[in-house]
Structure 1
Amino acid sequence: MFSRVFCALLVSWLFTGCAGGIQAMEHGPVVTVTAKPDAFLQAHYQQQAEAGLPAVKLLNTGQEALRARAALIETANQRIDAQYYIWNDDGSGRYLASRLAAAADRGVVVRLLLDDINVVGKESLFALLDSHPNIRVRIFNPSRSRDGVGRWLSFLTDFDRINRRMHNKTFVVDGLVGIAGGRNVGDEYFGLHPSLNFRDRDVMVLGPLAGDMTGNFEAYWRSPWSLPLERLYPKPEKTAAGLRALIKTAGIQMDAPALPTEKPAARAYLGELFADSVSASAELVFDPPPENPDAPADTPQQTAETLYQLVERARSEILIESAYLILTDEQLQAVNDLGKSELEVAAVTNSLATNDLVTNHSGYARWRRAMLAQGMELHELRPDAPACKRWVEALAACDGGEVSLHSKAVVFDRNTLFIGSFNVNLRSIYLNGETALVIRSPELAGGVADDIRYAMEPVNSWRVDLNDSNELVWRSEGEDLYHEPEVGFWRRAMSRMLSWLPIEKYL
């Protein structure tokens, strides 16, 4: 009797979940910001605007990227708009949260927009921030159930909507300076994790192009599918004391040297970055949030269309650096239709040993032979790559840990750089919201091309080939291997079994 009642209730819950789900909402009028932008940033912005081109600075190491964000927060005088797929409640996550709270204390308006997929378990930190009168936190496309088994069931019963994620990552201060790229907020993205660190890239932009990043942010902030945090979680108790403790202790816990925590130091550091920037023609491309996330996602989005157009214009070389790499028949046929026998296409991605998600690697493995048959040159990162010591400032983590690829960049003819949150895979093409910068600069594109080629060197990566018997071979430093290297049997078996499933669009 009990089992029949339980099953009936479960079936009822499942079907009501399918029909109901989270409710979209209309947002009120935009809050007017009355403070003036920071004079230091305004002066540099005006100088760059008069030059006619934005100033672009690549942030190639994690600690450089963390210091840039810290300096921008300290310099902010008007508003900070931060949009992220992941914001961890760890040392760097709490440090940046503490600086946002300190900025809000001095009157800066802070808006923090987070994708829901990774909020669970960190909600207390965001609720604490949201309790500040100058900070507002919204969650994009949340599931109805917030934790436990119900959250997983919500995912299954609301599959189409929940698969539309905000993968965009932007950080804009006073509407004058912005950062976009592949990095989330967390120790492993800033070179501070003791055992696993990501090779990643950001771009800092000074000039009117930062306003386009604000437009990207506003599109998601105003989306009916971005809900105020307070609608999803209760307000914490004793918030004033909690905010004071966060501001006081987070900086002490950080083990990162030379973080600019005062305005003079912040301005000096930003001055160095601006001086090291390159004036370049650039444009921002982003995918707007879906009006109806339940609708079929079977059309390439704006960022993907922009990438396709750049591929069509390429003449001699396309270099791809992508944490997750999945190209299927449709994309490979498009490359084949170009009919350019002289066009070289080479990619570096994660090996099974360095990929943080076996599922994602399985989708790549499913199409690896097809990519090789198309003539693509494939390289897979080694977990012991010496390049780690170039990418990660915390060298001890390179000696005792592993490095994984998280960056996303494509270089065309060493002249044009496509860089941002876009992985060269089906999820980025069809499902995720993404943000990318298209930068036309031989200096910057050539520098990233050299970095990608360095990552492809045998000491850092295995080159994957098909031998005369149509077998996959991993080659590095004179050694040939005939199975996924540096992983055990069960990880290889799991990847192989998952690769049989046609789920690559959702990986």
Structure 2
Amino acid sequence: MRPLLRAPLILAVVLVGAGCRTGSALRDLERAPSHALAPDPEASLVQLVERLGWREAEGYGLLDRGADSLDTRLALIHAAECTIDVQTYLWHGDRAGTLLLNECLDAADRGVRVRLIIDDFQLEGGLKRAAALSFHENLELRVFNPYLEDGAAGRLLEVLGDFDRLDHRMHDKSMVVDGVVAVAGGRNIGDEYFGLGGEFDFRDLDLVVAGPVVDDLEACFDEFWNSEYAVPVADLWHGIPADAAAHQDLRERLDRTLAAADGVIGRRRAAHDETWVPALERLLAELVPGAGRVVRDSLLHSRGGLTGGGTGLMAAEIARIAAEPGDEVWFVSAYFVPDDDFLAHLAEETARGVELRILTNSLASTNQPLAHAYYAEERARILATGARLHEIRVWGPTRTYYQSPGSVAERLGLHGKAAVYGDHTVVVGSMNLDPRSMKLNTELGLVVESAPLAERTRAALARDFAAAGSWEVRTGEDGGLEWHAGELRRETQPALSGWQRFSTWFLGFLPLRGEV
């Protein structure tokens, strides 16, 4: 064989072998199935929900600010007596992530069954901590769609050999406590999602829910938990300690991290029943009635497994709702890359008199420059549909509204995903209006028919659509784009620097539109 041909052939054999090994290895790993437990009528949270009338009826609350969303999670974990199920894309090891993890461990110490499922995309570097965490007899961590090779070189070969599988990620975000109260929406676990960021904070949205719809969220969690793609972390990599000593070392490191945290985290950590019980009672008493349903992308049915490529159920549901009669629709999507069909739909809606408003990131506020590069190519076409287009002001006056006390973040970015249809329907979830969310990731959302929730959500979003919160992009008299915010007017898009403008423009030439 010619030496020139030998290397490519060897590489091809390695890649094919890597693909076969990873695809079959996931199925071969043993995992004990488990399912949601029926709510215990003796549990305090179950009794509170019953007393407030949210066992048969459904109640919904908007978690508009990061501090409120963090406190709601802490209050629910503190109240848990039976089960905690958390599904998330990212769980950072920062102050908020450490505090929530520590509270979950404390709940496990009380005998609560804790199940955590996290996407593997950014888990590398935390494997030893994750394995040590799962040593607790009442806490189990499963990793979704994991890499089976450790180290950068091994993972690169695995991606090349098994790209179709690894390109699909779990983007769902939910937490269910004692089977009767849940939080679902767009927030991951980390400082910037709760108004505690160091450099920037995210404007994001969640719903807290009670009632029968919680059963559907539990069913979604169970499907992922028991799938072949969710693997107990201790079974993934050899040589990772998962013993009592490693677990104790983890607990001590968590304690040191929290002890060194600032007063905001310290006060939350020190809070006891006198803080969390009244806060939880107020929160649940202020829920508003509605009729909701969970819309989710099923791993096993909607796409034929993780290598399917069709449009997910979440995207299809958004399109269906948008086609219903109404006079006004507000979309919020952190990353907005519309295709021809979506643009045609926008034009059809405005042609029949519907007022469409869209809020997304500006170049200055985005944390995903590649997605912004493809969005920027479509700005003129979006405006041509008749929709009004708004972009978050990174240093706008409303920035401080989303900060928790003690935050030092100087910039604000958008991470929320929501829609309000007329005065009656609200959608809050994890799905952006971009190709990755529509065709590659699994996504989860809540569609709620509720006039009072629609009113609250519209009032909250009005702050972002106003001049203090966003730029409105318009077509100028010369046909070029302009950015307006009250008396302010700019003819170049807001950016952090000229280099950011140039580098993002350059990224737009990459043939990766389907990946963002």
1:432 match: 441
- For residues 3 and 265 of structure 1, what CA distance do their matches in structure 2 show? 71
1:353 match: 364
Correspondence for 2:149 among 145, 150, 154: 145
- For residues 102 and 503 of structure 1, what CA distance do their matches in structure 2 show? 44
Gaps of 5+ in 2: none
- For residues 102 and 485 of structure 1, what CA distance do their matches in structure 2 show? 45
1:297 aligns to what SS in structure 2?
coil
1:379 match: 390
Letter in 1 for 2:506: M
2:275 match: 265
CA 1:446–1:152 in 2, change beyond 3 Å: closer, same or farther?
farther
- For residues 155 and 356 of structure 1, what CA distance do their matches in structure 2 show? 24
User: Does residue 474 of the first structure (1) align with residue 483 of the second (2)?
Assistant: yes
CA 1:43–1:441 in 2, change beyond 3 Å: closer, same or farther?
same
2:317 aligns to what SS in structure 1?
helix
> What fraction of aligned residue pairs are identical, expressed as a percent?
30
Letter in 1 for 2:15: L
- For residues 178 and 229 of structure 2, what CA distance do their matches in structure 1 show? 25
Q: Which moved more, 1:21-30 or 1:176-185?
A: 21-30
- For residues 413 and 42 of structure 2, what CA distance do their matches in structure 1 show? 37
Alpha-carbon contact 2:296-2:445 (below 8 Å) kept = yes
CA shift digits 1:276-322 (9 cap, x unpaired):
22122222211112465453413x21111211111011421111111
User: Does residue 297 of the first structure (1) align with residue 298 of the second (2)?
Assistant: no
- For residues 483 and 289 of structure 1, what CA distance do their matches in structure 2 show? 43
Q: Which moved more, 1:170-179 or 1:156-165?
A: 156-165
- For residues 312 and 48 of structure 1, what CA distance do their matches in structure 2 show? 36
1:320 match: 331
CA 1:5–1:132 in 2, change beyond 3 Å: closer, same or farther?
farther
- For residues 282 and 378 of structure 2, what CA distance do their matches in structure 1 show? 44
1:443 match: 452
Report the Cα offset of residue 411 of structure 1. Answer: 0.5
Report the Cα offset of residue 98 of structure 1. Answer: 1.0
Report the Cα offset of residue 118 of structure 1. Answer: 1.4
CA 1:151–1:293 in 2, change beyond 3 Å: closer, same or farther?
farther
Report the Cα offset of residue 10 of structure 1. Answer: 4.0
1:343 match: 354
Report the Cα offset of residue 264 of structure 1. Answer: 4.6
Gaps of 5+ in 1: none
CA 1:339–1:67 in 2, change beyond 3 Å: closer, same or farther?
closer
Report the Cα offset of residue 94 of structure 1. Answer: 1.2
Aligned residue-pair number: 504
1:505 match: 514
Alpha-carbon contact 2:49-2:284 (below 8 Å) kept = no
Alpha-carbon contact 1:322-1:407 (below 8 Å) kept = yes
Report the Cα offset of residue 433 of structure 1. Answer: 1.1
CA 1:501–1:115 in 2, change beyond 3 Å: closer, same or farther?
same
1:177-216 map, 5 Å: 177-216=181-220
1:40-59 map, 5 Å: 40-47=44-51, 52-59=56-63
- For residues 482 and 155 of structure 1, what CA distance do their matches in structure 2 show? 42
Q: Which moved more, 1:492-501 or 1:33-42?
A: 33-42
1:118 aligns to what SS in structure 2?
coil
CA 1:129–1:55 in 2, change beyond 3 Å: closer, same or farther?
same
Correspondence for 2:379 among 338, 354, 368: 368
Alpha-carbon contact 1:141-1:162 (below 8 Å) kept = yes
Correspondence for 1:285 among 263, 276, 295: 295
2:465 match: 456
2:18 match: 17
Report the Cα offset of residue 48 of structure 1. Answer: 5.0
1:24 aligns to what SS in structure 2?
helix
- For residues 424 and 67 of structure 2, what CA distance do their matches in structure 1 show? 27
- For residues 499 and 133 of structure 2, what CA distance do their matches in structure 1 show? 42
Report the Cα offset of residue 73 of structure 1. Answer: 1.1
2:62 aligns to what SS in structure 1?
strand
Correspondence for 1:85 among 89, 95, 102: 89
User: Does residue 404 of the first structure (1) align with residue 403 of the second (2)?
Assistant: no
1:235 match: 241
Report the Cα offset of residue 146 of structure 1. Answer: 3.0
CA 1:38–1:202 in 2, change beyond 3 Å: closer, same or farther?
farther
Q: Which moved more, 1:77-86 or 1:51-60?
A: 51-60
- For residues 448 and 369 of structure 1, what CA distance do their matches in structure 2 show? 28
CA shift digits 1:345-367 (9 cap, x unpaired):
11111111110111111121122
CA 1:488–1:170 in 2, change beyond 3 Å: closer, same or farther?
same
Correspondence for 1:162 among 166, 169, 172: 166
1:384 aligns to what SS in structure 2?
coil
Alpha-carbon contact 1:316-1:344 (below 8 Å) kept = yes
RMSD of the TM alignment (CA)? 2.6
- For residues 245 and 175 of structure 1, what CA distance do their matches in structure 2 show? 31
User: Does residue 417 of the first structure (1) align with residue 426 of the second (2)?
Assistant: yes
CA shift digits 1:209-251 (9 cap, x unpaired):
2121111100100111111101223234513422542564454
